Structure 1
Amino acid sequence: MKFDLHTHHSRCGHAEGSIEDYIRAGIDAGLSVIGISDHSPYFGSEEDHPQPGIAMARSSLPGYVEEVLALKAKYEGKIEVLLGMESDFFPEHAETYRRAYEPYPFDYLIGSVHLSGGKSIFNRNRWKGLSDLVQIEQKRDYYELIRQSAVCGMFQVLGHIDAMKGYYPAFSDIPASESIDLTLQAISGSGAAIEINTSGKTKTVGGWYPSEAILERALFYGVQASFGSDSHVPSRVGDEFEEVRAKLKEIGFKEWVFYRQKRPVAVPL
């Protein structure tokens, strides 16, 4: 059984294609389940659309939900369409985000840290001129945010948990194993899953998020795994699903999960 919980579309302003394009691509890729999970509005701002080109407007959210649910009905029997969202995580705005999601029948929410220390995690210039000590502090701060996103209880999936390496591959070599372990323990205790996200291949680092070393530690701590292509073009839906499944089996995982009505559905590997 193939599934993909992490897909985007044109509402976020930096992905191509309609929701239906991704659903059709999922059918072509042999998926049984596809999750639609575009970038959440910036609920921490009073503006309707403070980040065009990055995330959808607040006013777009009801239409987004309505469209996904309509397509879920349209494609019933061909592919299961799940209503999701990739949500930013800001500790200071967590309750505002929680209240914003409450009226809608989400199957799952992906919690992703995209900003740390006020800068994008994908900003390669953030590392210029930093001492080894400051680099360690920045990595610890990033994992502390991910830990907090797990314990807040809002999310079923934690997104791309080492994506800070995307445009700075040396990130993986910064020593902060204790912080990563504390974060994985928190994720395990929360019941959330981590996604194996294959979009790292579109960045400088190549490969997947998270690293094999982190996946091995995740298994040790009893963290559940899920799958997301993080596709921003329909052609990447389900990208490298079989390769990820084989790697998880090799590491020692027995199953992975997707979410329906915020409840995990286990899929044997």
Structure 2
Amino acid sequence: MKFDLHTHNERCGHATGTIEDYIRAGIEAGLSVIGISDHSPFFAREEDHAVPGTAMAKSEFSRYVAEVLRLKEKYAGRIEVLLGVESDFFPEHLEVYRQAYEPYPFDYIIGSVHQIHGVSIFNRNRWTKLNERQKTDVKKNYYEQIRDSAHTGLFQVLGHIDAMKGYYPAFVDIAGADAEIDAALQAVAEHDIAIEINTSGKTKDVGGWYPSDAILERALHFGVDVTFGSDAHVPGRVGDELDLVRSRLKEIGFKRWVFYRQKQKIVVPL
């Protein structure tokens, strides 16, 4: 069984193609299951559309859900369409986000840390004036937030957990955060959720997947489940490198991966 839980669409403002385009791409890629998981609105901001080009407007959210559910029915029997969302994790606004999601029948919610100290994790310039101790502090804080996101009970999947390396490949060489990485992985295992193998890193400077093999080996050690997400922002990337990821997971020692239906874990042998 092939599945892809992490896809976007034109609503977020930095992806191309409609939701239906991604579903059709999933069928062409031979997927049995596709998850639609566009970026959550900035629910804690007063503005309806706080950051155009980054996430959908709050007023679009119910329409987004309705469209996914309509297409789920339309494509039943050809591909299973799951209702998801990629949610920002802002600790100070957790309850605002929890209440925003509560009315809707999500199959899963991906929790992603996209900002540290108010700066995007993809901002390569954040590192230029930092000394080694400061870089270690940023990396520690990143994994502390990932750990905290696991403890919320809001998320079924944690997204791209070493994505700070995307435009700063030297991130992987910043020493001193091993304990925080392990604590984050232990929290994932404790709450019986999953981390994704996200192949969108190939489109960034780092040129590889999230997370690294070293983190996946630690994840296996702690009994962490994994899932797959292309993080496609164009329909042509749906399912991208899924078979390569499956082979690599087997080499590392994983026996299974998972997806979610109605927030229940579905186990698929590798």
TM-score, normalisation: structure 1 = 1.00
Q: What does residue 31 of structure 1 align with? A: 31
Q: What does residue 247 of structure 1 align with? A: 248
CA distance in 2, matches of 1:230, 1:120: 17
In structure 2, list runs of 5 or more residues that go unmatched.
none
Q: What does residue 160 of structure 1 align with? A: 160
CA distance in 1, matches of 2:94, 2:129: 32
CA distance in 1, matches of 2:192, 2:51: 31
Alignment of 1:193 with 2:168, yes or no, is no
SS at 2:17 equivalent: coil
1:68-147 alignment runs, 5 A limit: 68-147=68-147
Q: CA deviation at 1:46?
A: 1.4
In structure 1, list runs of 5 or more residues that go unmatched.
none
CA distance in 2, matches of 1:237, 1:188: 27
Q: CA deviation at 1:190?
A: 1.3
Q: Percent identity?
A: 71
How far does the alpha carbon of each residue in 1:17-53 deviate from its partner, in whole angstroms, 9 at most, with x for none?
0000000000000000000000000011111110100
CA distance in 2, matches of 1:61, 1:191: 28
Q: Quick one: which amino acid aligns to residue 156 of structure 1?
A: Q
SS at 1:265 equivalent: strand
CA distance in 1, matches of 2:163, 2:47: 28
How far does the alpha carbon of each residue in 1:33-75 deviate from its partner, in whole angstroms, 9 at most, with x for none?
0000000000111111101000000000110000000000000
Q: Quick one: which amino acid aligns to residue 242 of structure 2?
A: F
How far does the alpha carbon of each residue in 1:165-204 deviate from its partner, in whole angstroms, 9 at most, with x for none?
0000000011111110111111111111000000000000
CA distance in 2, matches of 1:119, 1:141: 12
SS at 2:138 equivalent: helix
CA distance in 2, matches of 1:179, 1:128: 23
SS at 2:155 equivalent: coil
Q: Quick one: which amino acid aligns to residue 186 of structure 2?
A: Q
TM-score, normalisation: structure 2 = 0.99
CA distance in 1, matches of 2:118, 2:22: 32
CA distance in 1, matches of 2:203, 2:221: 29
Alignment of 1:61 with 2:61, yes or no, is yes
Q: CA deviation at 1:211?
A: 0.1
SS at 1:84 equivalent: strand
Q: Quick one: which amino acid aligns to residue 101 of structure 2?
A: Y
Q: What does residue 267 of structure 1 align with? A: 268
1:7-26 alignment runs, 5 A limit: 7-26=7-26
Q: What does residue 205 of structure 2 align with? A: 204
Q: What does residue 182 of structure 2 align with? A: 181
CA distance in 1, matches of 2:192, 2:99: 21
SS at 1:27 equivalent: helix
CA distance in 2, matches of 1:56, 1:31: 26
CA distance in 2, matches of 1:230, 1:2: 15
CA distance in 2, matches of 1:119, 1:189: 29
